[in-house]
Amino acid sequence: MLDYKLLAALAAVVEQAGFERGAQVLGLSQSAVSQRIKLLEARIGQPVLLRAMPPTPTDVGRRLLNHVQQVRLLERDLQQQVPSLVAEGETQRLRVAVNADSLATWWARAVAEFCASHRVLLELVVEDQEVGLKRMRAGDVAACVCAAERPVSGARSLPLGAMRYRAMASPAFIARHFPDGVSAERIAQVPAIVFGPDDQLQHRYLNALGLSGSFLHHLCPSSEGFVRLTAEGLGWGMVPEPQMTEAMARGELVELLPGRPIDVPLYWHHWRNGGDLLDQLTGHLHRHAGDYLVPLVAAQLP
């Protein structure tokens, strides 16, 4: 069998994003961890880790991490069958990548009961779209919530529903920039807020209005920060429906042009042989995600 002490050192350094923290988690000295990784590389005959900040796995390293992740999930099943393997009261950890808007809205409510009753501790990673899937492929997470449908090799994707976005702005922003009423043409000339380089929602909204080309925008890669900037009148932006209710009730946000939502489908990606706990969480989300998201059949897809 493989030497799992060495593999665990690699996993700890990558997951903790550094040798020092990786060593802390393992209760080892930094030089011991470093030696284990060197030994692993000597045995395989090639580097497993780029010594950058943070340390990054090589292609081979990624394959090893993927394997470690799957072994861990299988160990969880074994612990269910052989409970004496588990120290009393030990809880299970599940590492999941979730897109920022889900984490800021429905995710906690959807999984709260499951985590309490199954004694699960979550290690959440905030990643949108393709990056979450890259983490799956790298074996860095056991599952992922994102807008991409196509599963990575060895995984399945389950449609959860869609997040509905509407173009929102503050009343003061509208009064300042649209003194004669909101017109589609003018929207492309006032500042927008964009989550990050991958966020195409504002582009799509403008395209649907028949507008193309570049537009002024702030960049704000924080879900709550995005809503705050919108409410304070720095720009208009596509806000998830669950996040706008209170701000609308307080009169902080109003819809730019009524009735033009964009629905973004969300999928649950999970390892095919990810173990019982992951299967149970998948079943739980399958039953309950619909309580928080718009049904995909009704979703207005691009």
Enumerate binding residues for a copy of itself (CB under 8 A): 16-17, 21, 50, 52, 56, 91, 98, 100, 103-105, 107-109, 111-112, 115-116, 121-126, 176, 191, 197, 216-225, 228-229, 231-234, 246
Q: From CA 203, how far away is CA 58, in angstroms rounded?
A: 35
Whose Cβ is closer to a copy of itself: residue 85's or residue 219's? 219
- Give the tokens for residue 191: 């500042």
Question: Closest distance between a copy of itself and the C-beta of residue 1, in Å?
Answer: 29
Whose Cβ is closer to a copy of itself: residue 55's or residue 299's? 55
Whose Cβ is closer to a copy of itself: residue 12's or residue 167's? 12
Question: Closest distance between a copy of itself and the C-beta of residue 2, in Å?
Answer: 26
Question: Closest distance between a copy of itself and the C-beta of residue 51, in Å?
Answer: 11
Question: Closest distance between a copy of itself and the C-beta of residue 113, in Å?
Answer: 9
Q: From CA 237, how far away is CA 218, in angstroms rounded?
A: 10
Whose Cβ is closer to a copy of itself: residue 204's or residue 228's? 228
Question: Closest distance between a copy of itself and the C-beta of residue 153, in Å?
Answer: 19
Write the DSSP assignment of 67-121 as a string of letters: HHHHHHHHHHHHHHHSGGGSPTTPPEEEEEEE-HHHHTTTHHHHHHHHHHHTTEE
Whose Cβ is closer to a copy of itself: residue 51's or residue 286's? 51
Contact call for residues 147 and 265 (beta carbons, < 8 A): yes
Write the DSSP assignment of 139-190 as a string of letters: TS-SEEEES--SPPTTEEEEEEEEEEEEEEE-HHHHHHH-TT---HHHHTTS
